[in-house]
Structure 1
Amino acid sequence: MADETENQPAEPEEGTVEAPDTAPEVAVETEEKPFIYVQGFAGLPFKLDLPLHEALADQLTKGYLRRVANLDGDPYVPEEESPEVAALPEERPALNANKKTWVGWAVKNGMTPDDAEALTKTDLIEKFGTDN
């Protein structure tokens, strides 16, 4: 019969310390995803990764969310190299633009998002579609 101690690991000598089993370190390059900061209806700014989900892009277009420069909520100033992200329209939309764009235009002109969404596209065009 073989000695039972043959298959057991040897005990370390007195005064020596065994290193714990660790996996070799692997350098992982983490590339930061593009993102934007927005402010919600509660007034708290938060970070959103790009590309935005369609529902979030709609909320930006309609004015429920507002883009801000940072987590302090400072006003956002568009940059030329910034990624294309949904936002309130800067100029009056074309008559054939979709309703959410017209809702955004109404919000840009002082209407609340909920009130603008309650109107039809035709109502929005009648109220905000002409230069006064």
Structure 2
Amino acid sequence: MSDTVTTNEINEPGEGWFRGTGGAIWRMALPLAPDLAAAHAAGQLVRVNPDGTPYTGPSTVPPMTAPPSAKAGKRAWVEWAVACGADPEEAAAVTKHDLIDTYGQARPTSPPAVDQPDKGTARQGALDDEE
């Protein structure tokens, strides 16, 4: 296996490179699956170039325009809260019920926090679905 990155790997349509909180870089299909999009919005996945340098291309996640349903998992509500201006770590730390109470009627203040620097401190377990 070669360490050389080809032009095809960089420009492959429908794929992007992402760095997780542990520092590993993965190639993922775009658009991201909902759980990965929520991790991306919460800062747990950061879009990068294949060599790990910051990605400067167009946004990879479309902005959210409406809150998720009450039946949606906590990850979707964390993503919505972040789109409405919440701190990703603070949103991940509260319960799904608290997110619904606080952000159920809110509207996004700006596009969701995409391709932001990786804080590396948000815990994956904090985003597990709650009932």
TM-score, with length taken from structure 2: 0.47
Larger radius of gyration: 1
- Greater relative contact order (CA < 8 Å, ≥ 6 in sequence): 2
TM-score w.r.t. the length of structure 1 is 0.47
